[in-house]
Chain A
Amino acid sequence: MDFGSYVPYLAAAIILVGTLASGPLPLADQPTDRTNEIGTGSVTVGEIRLPATATLRQGQFGEDSYYLQVPAASVRFEGVEGRPVLTYKLEILDLGYSRESAFFLGPDTSERTQISMERDELAPGTVQNDSYAGVLRVIERAGEESRVVAERNVTVQVRR
């Protein structure tokens, strides 16, 4: 117990000193604000592979909603200038549904990248068919303009 009686004070002292030493830290890492550049420049895409199917899977364990899951697309960039934005978009006309996710590109974007779409939930009542026709698009947005880089028809399979 004797050893144990001064250890807490030692530990507390280390933590306190460490905390007090953090004073100048906020000055050191001022985040550089580059948000105003986002959405400018352009991208040259070498190759895009889009999936042929997506799924609408009904939940388990008492969750009745459908999960819309879209596999990732793989993109090979040949050149990125500035900080353009790439969006990955799915549209299902019969459901009146569309969803997209944006990717912010820049000098540190690697040559091969997977762009993905987070899963979404659809109410159980809205999904009636066994499959739906959808369109997947990859769109480049720079400034006011947008350009479809790739497009593919997908089958959205319903799994109950």
Chain B
Amino acid sequence: MSTFDSEVTARLAARTKRLRTGVWRLLFGDRRGLALFLCGLCFFGLYWRMGIYITDGSAIANTLVNVAEGRVVLTEVPYGSGLEAPGTYVGDRGPVGRNYGIVALAVPVLYALQGLGAVLDLGVVLIGLWSLALVGAVTTVGRLVERGWVIVGGCALAVVAFVANVALATPVAPALYPVLALQIVGMLAAALSGVFCYRLVACLHGQRVGIAAGTAVIVATPIAFWAALLKRHSFTVLCVAAALCALARSRTASEAVETRRVRALAYVPVALLAWIHAAEALLLFVPLVVVDFVTAERNDRRTLAVIGGTFVISLVPFFLTNLLVSGTPVEPPRMLPSYGAAEGLDLNGGGGSGSLISSLPLVGGLLRIASRFVSLLGEGAVVALTEPERSFQTFLRGGYIPAVASEDGFQAIRLTVLESAPLLAGLAAAPVAAGLWLRRQGRAALGSYLRSPAGVVDAVALASGLLFVFLFLPRLPLHAQVTVRYLHPLFLLGVYGLARLPAVRSAVTAYEWTAGSAYGGTLLVGGQLVVIALTAVDTGLGEAVQFHALLALATATVLAAWTTARALSDIVPERAGAVLLGITAGVGTIFVLLSGIEYFAYAGEFALPVVRRLSAALPLA
């Protein structure tokens, strides 16, 4: 009996271990991935404000409250303007919310928070979790770089931070728990985006470039800005990163079985994205499926069955949710009529199209959705080509745009893509580098490039990025965007593109320390100079944001000049590039930190009370 028992226990233990390592490898890949993940969480925690930042957040929090109680239909709406909150729709059996995929992830977190909050002070629990993440981060990093002092110093810092924060801790109202649960899954998604970016780039260009790219995504782009702000965008980025990562690995795998499995895996994040935002999932799905099947070595029946089966199974939650919400499996919440007054920002086909679709048979409905989608993208492409001013105000320089600012409280608190992530200026060299490559290698090399792992990922990344631009550009520039959040995946794809530039890669690998020091210097010294300058001018909110914009554009211009020059000639010093990459990344981080700690501190009480003191002490807008 006892031998049987121990055998079962041993088998169970082995299976648990396999499962654990399986999940671990699937999410983090290796210890470097884990280190990035933990560092990302600690970074986002620094400016985590517990509350709802923009009104759209109310609807998703309301949805969570109801789903946590086992209802898809909204009967309890404690946040924002209740059922009038933007993001509420008229469902089959009553008002419904959206982003059910995120909500489903947040439900277990909410239960955990409610349990912990019942027996402990939740404010202290959150501080404890953050401090534990810091202990984990410094321990993982310290072991990776084999420096004992990193571990000892970091752990001491974590304990000191814990004590100092707990000393100032205030109780957290249980009414905030659903918001906190959503913020936590958002931060997890944002941190994992960095991990998948690392794994994607590491798969193609080695770990050092991969770590640089993953770090850049986490600290130097608006992905950090929106990490805890109750929006879907972190999840969109995560799904794009995970799909591209799996695609890259499917092309570098050595065995056919492994290739098939990883290829199928690439479609899982697409299906999960559909659960969150169906239109965005299509923007990823179409390029992925086309490029994947055209460039794959074999598309035999078995491969098709595995990929198709995986995809359909992953879509089950999406179909089930739609069925519950709208009564039709292919009609996601966003295609339903808005509950509140005109919202106009979503993909609903206007007025009463919802009922029309549900009366059509399934195939007809799908065709209608597809044609509407294609026409939307077509309109976007036309707008992109014929309205250069719109692109200019979205990608390069915005400033004060009266129609947008009037909705933002007469404040120019809207940045362009480049203003919010000056690091991406390096992409200016991409066309030059591509042209030179083509001239040197000849057209014949193009075919083999497009079948190479990097070529396959490049094609999907470029096509998906363009589709995102086409879908959203006609609505931009828009208020309540701050960092053009509709185009959020471009920040990930942009960092990936940077990592694909040979000039950037060699500068980062040859002068790692130079780039790191430039980043640290910019953050610590430059950050203080920015605070001093803004204090001296006594800036308002809009002025402060626009100051960051100009600073970003100034550094971005120099970086763009360097990458272009470096692509043309090897005489241009490589070290300068490392410095510029560090500086532009640092400028991006300064905005993320100051906006989170100071400019938009009103989004809620800080999870780390010490930061509240810092925020109060800073004499800025």
Contacts and interface: CB of A to CB of B under 8 A. Distances in A.
A7 B169 CA distance: 25
Interface stretch (B13-21, B99-107, B364-372, B406-414): B406-414
Nearest to B541: A121
B152 A121 contact: no
Given A8-B135, A25-B121, A26-B121, A18 B550 contact: no
A121 B409 contact: yes
Quick one: which of A8, A29, A125 has the most chain B CB within 10 A?
A8
Interface in A40-70: 59-65, 67
A10 B400 contact: no
Interface stretch (B153-161, B212-220, B231-239): B153-161
B152 A23 contact: no
A18 B160 CA distance: 12
A15 B121 contact: no
Given A61-B546, A63-B542, A19 B158 contact: no
A22 B120 contact: yes
Contact of B542 (A1, A15, A121): A121
Quick one: which of A59, A61, A62, A123 has the most chain B CB within 10 A?
A61
B414 to A, nearest CB: 11
B171 interface: yes
B396 interface: no
A11 B540 contact: no
Contacts of B131: 15
B547 A61 contact: yes
A122 B142 CA distance: 52
B124 A7 contact: no
A22 B124 contact: yes
Contacts of B550: 61-62
A62 B400 contact: yes
A99 interface: no
Interface in A113-131: 119, 121-125
A76 B411 CA distance: 35
Place the interface of chain B in its size category: 35 or more
B197 interface: no
Contacts of B363: none
Contacts of A123: 402, 405-406, 410
B139 interface: yes
A25 to B, nearest CB: 4
Contacts of A23: 119-121
A25 B542 contact: no
A95 interface: no
A139 B106 CA distance: 48
Contact of A8 (B151, B162, B546): B151
B411 A65 contact: yes
Contact of A4 (B152, B409, B549): B152
Contact of B128 (A15, A29, A122, A124): A15
Interface in B130-152: 131-132, 135-136, 138-139, 142, 146, 148, 151-152
Contact of B171 (A7, A8, A29, A61): A29
B125 interface: yes
Nearest to B122: A26
Contact of B124 (A19, A67, A122): A19
Interface in B397-436: 397-400, 402, 405-406, 409-412
B166 interface: yes
Contacts of B341: none
Contacts of A122: 410
B132 A12 contact: yes
Contact of A25 (B124, B159, B546): B124
Given A15-B132, A22-B124, A60-B537, A4 B542 contact: no
B543 interface: yes
B148 A1 contact: yes
A15 B133 CA distance: 11
A88 to B, nearest CB: 19
A93 interface: no
A7 B139 CA distance: 9
A12 B136 CA distance: 9
A11 B125 contact: no
A26 B155 CA distance: 27
A8 B132 CA distance: 9
Contacts of A25: 121, 124, 169, 171
A124 B400 contact: yes
A65 B148 contact: no
Contacts of B163: 18
Contacts of B405: 64-65, 123
A119 B128 contact: no
A14 interface: yes
Contact of A26 (B142, B171, B409, B546): B171
A4 B142 CA distance: 9
Nearest to A25: B121
Contacts of B119: 23
A65 B148 CA distance: 53
Interface string A119-155: 1011111000000000000000000000000000000
* Top-4 shortest CB links A-B: A19-B128, A62-B399, A22-B124, A11-B155
Interface of A: 1, 3-4, 7-8, 10-12, 14-16, 18-20, 22-23, 25-26, 29, 31, 59-65, 67, 119, 121-125
25 contacts: A8-B155, A11-B155, A12-B135, A15-B135, A15-B159, A18-B166, A19-B127, A23-B120, A59-B540, A59-B542, A59-B543, A59-B546, A61-B543, A61-B549, A62-B546, A63-B412, A63-B542, A63-B545, A64-B399, A67-B540, A119-B540, A122-B410, A123-B410, A124-B400, A125-B402
